[in-house]
Chain A
Amino acid sequence: MWAAFRAVFAAIFADRAAALLLLGAPILYAVLYPSAYSGEIVIDAPVVVVDLDRSAASRDLVRRAAATSQVRLVAALASPQEAQEWLASDQASAAIIIPEGYSRAIAQGRSGNVMLVGSGAHLLRSSTALTGIGAALASTAREAAFEQARAAGPAAPPALQLVTRALFNTREGYGAAVFPGVAFVIVHQSLLLGLTLLAATAREKLGAPLRVTPAQFAGLGLAASTIAMVQVCWFAGLVFWWQDYPRAAAPVGQVLVGAALFVAATAALVLLLASLFRTRERPLQLGLAVSLPLFFLSGLTWPAAATPAPVLWLSRLFPTTPGLQVMVGLNQMGGTLADYAGALGNLAVLTAVFGGIALWRWTAPRRS
């Protein structure tokens, strides 16, 4: 068993492509991926303004809007058509339109209407920007309007105010929302591609399917699990801390149990697939493009409630789906193992089924 365990590591260090996948990729992606999301929150979104009212009140509103941190005023335009052109050519991400009669409405004690238009070209981005700009406008405009309309007596403040808070992910940034999930897809893909490449290479050299004893098979499984566990610790322990993502919400022992099950299911799948490939480069050709669908199937970005049932069932065949649910839940949301009993059971079933088929394929007597 230990000979097989050591043989895996010897093979990794002797093969530059495998080393790049198993050792290089986790390090490079830990730097590369979070950098895409280093912006975290929207500040200085380019905004155009159309002031059709041209009054002291509307000019004051524009001045106050420009002073908020979310907004960078790029142009004052004469008509809503012009604003639409700015949005269409992506020079502005939102437009503030103050209609005619705004100041009169406030002076008469009615609501002054302001329109805030975001671009459909960047839907998620726009809704975040709109929420921020809208809140900033509402609060600054309230003061402005109060000053303008003091003569008419105090206005009724809205009876209810909606306060939105981020659950679990208190930083509410893109990186903090996405990377803690992506990291486990990276672990999965790194192990899958690196080890199947090694197995296919060995089989190519041998010219026949690889056959091992059950003890050697256990050594291979242990080696695969060790590499995956080191990667999980690297991301969950070091990279999340370095990037200051929400982390360690659950007790370490529970995180380790969840990680062990994810690692076991991944290693079982990898060993099964490793027994199928005959050409060294083939796993890379076919496996690299699967990463993006795997991430979407995991349900982190696209809610399970909006996913068709057959796709949901299919997604449970991959260790990444329950794995991400458990690991993001334990790491970022502060859940306990009991909260994820279903996903943990899913991982256990995958480990048993994939592991069983892999054991049979690796140890069955060679047909001559």
Chain B
Amino acid sequence: MSFAARFGASFRREAAFLARSPWDLALLTWLPLVLCALIAWQLSAGVIRDLPVALVDTERSALSRDIAIRIEGAPGMRLAYTVPDMRAAESLARSGAVEAIVLVPPEATQRALEGRGQITLYVNAAHSAASSTIQRDMAAIIAAANARAAVEQIAAISPPGKVRPAPLAVRSLIAFNAPASQEQQLVSLLHPALLHLLFMLAVVSAFGRELRDATVAEWRPDGASIAGKAALYVLAFMVWGAGVTAYLAGFRGWALAGGPALLMTGYLAMFAAYAGVSLLLVGITRRMSQSLSLTGLYAGASFAFAGAIFPVDQASGFAKFWAEILPFTHFARLLALDWITGAPTNVAAAPLVPLGLITLVTAVPGAWLYLRASQRPEDWGKR
């Protein structure tokens, strides 16, 4: 038989198996759908609005009222409670009733007139998405309050001609994501993070199952049939990759700055790399349960190491190394460059090189080990 014929035969054989086994089919059908839809739904608010905030008003002055009104007006915050002391506010924050505390300390007005007023914002750093929204809004509130104070109050008590604005104004803005929505950022990465783990579980199961059930005896694999079997899973998950991209870019309107062709090539290269790693794990352990456990260990924490949400630049050498050997890290780089910033194609396509390398160094020894195990009945049936 030719390569194409054996490839096709293996592909059809796997499809026939999945048609008979609903729980194995679940890994490429409703499980990705449910998990991706849940994440998409939870984060669909995108821009975080109306986070509850407590104001500690120790002064009951025009200044504290002004700040209260500005908090009410800020897009990201809502004044949920006004309390007289920090103890009450901290208790609200602990129970999750408020996300942040704004403290107007005693004598704040007097100090402000002297030009050294201070408002303290307490945010819960564990809630990173919420705290960055609140910090941004609060900075704008204080800047606006200052602008008014400079005109109304200080001018009134200072000799004319002596007052001028602060010497430097820093305006911060975010390029490529003007509404500062975290939906695009998080969902665009969480979906492939889920898909690559499900893909690896499905492929490890597909190859591990043949050894476990000793069906390799009847299948008698070679390079072409290994490729044919993996191709079914690559195809199924490419459909999911296209689906989640269409959801976010089309339905939710986060248009791709670059092109869909490069992103899909990235998906293909990432799945090829994970197929190689899966084959290697099965080839080394020759046991389905152990290779599945190792899959969890290898691919379960990818999201933390990708460096897109939290920086890994400052992390230890080990973490950097671990991040580099995870295909997801390289895919996340490609995604940021192609989808969000719209870098030139030659720059955005650069992560394809490490993805190809990972595929090569895992798939070749993986296929060799797997084919060897497929010839040795003593390696079959292990649990």
Contacts and interface: CB of A to CB of B under 8 A. Distances in A.
Interface string B247-282: 000000000000000000000000000000000000
Interface string A28-48: 110011011111111110000
Contacts of A38: 314-316, 319
A125 B23 contact: no
Interface in A158-180: 158-169, 172, 174, 176-178, 180
Interface stretch (A255-263, A333-341, A358-366): A333-341
Contacts of B208: 281
A246 B130 CA distance: 20
Interface string B173-189: 11111101010011000
A328 B93 CA distance: 13
Interface in A8-61: 16-17, 20-21, 25, 28-29, 32-33, 35-44
B304 A36 contact: yes
B167 interface: yes
Chain A interface helix/strand/loop/mixed: helix
B183 to A, nearest CB: 10
A127 B132 contact: yes
B38 A166 contact: no
A35 B168 CA distance: 39
The CB with the most chain A CB atoms within 10 A, among B51, B136, B176, B303, is that of B176
Question: What band does the interface of chain B fall in when counting residues whose beta carbon is under 8 Å from A?
Answer: 35 or more
A181 interface: yes
A163 B121 contact: yes
A291 interface: yes
B220 interface: no
Nearest to A175: B310
Interface stretch (B137-145, B235-243, B369-377): B137-145
A272 interface: no
B289 A289 contact: no
A114 B171 contact: yes
A209 interface: no
Contact of A20 (B90, B108, B293, B304): B293
A300 interface: yes
Interface stretch (B1-9, B222-230, B332-340, B355-363): B332-340
Contacts of A291: 296, 300
A149 B45 CA distance: 47
Contact of A21 (B123, B201, B293): B293
Nearest to B100: A167
Interface string A79-97: 0000010011110000100
B176 A145 contact: no
Given A142-B167, A155-B164, A162-B138, A124 B310 contact: yes
Interface string A94-124: 0100000000001001111111111111111
Interface of B: 23-24, 26-27, 31, 35, 38-39, 41-45, 48-52, 90-91, 93-96, 99-101, 108, 112-113, 115-130, 132, 135-136, 138-139, 142, 145-146, 149-150, 153-154, 158, 162-178, 180, 182, 185-186, 190, 193-194, 197-198, 201-202, 205, 208-209, 212, 287-290, 292-293, 295-297, 300-301, 303-305, 308-316, 318-319, 322-323, 333, 336-337, 340-344, 347-348, 383
The 3 A-B residue pairs with the shortest CB-CB distance, nearest first, are A39-B314, A120-B177, A145-B167
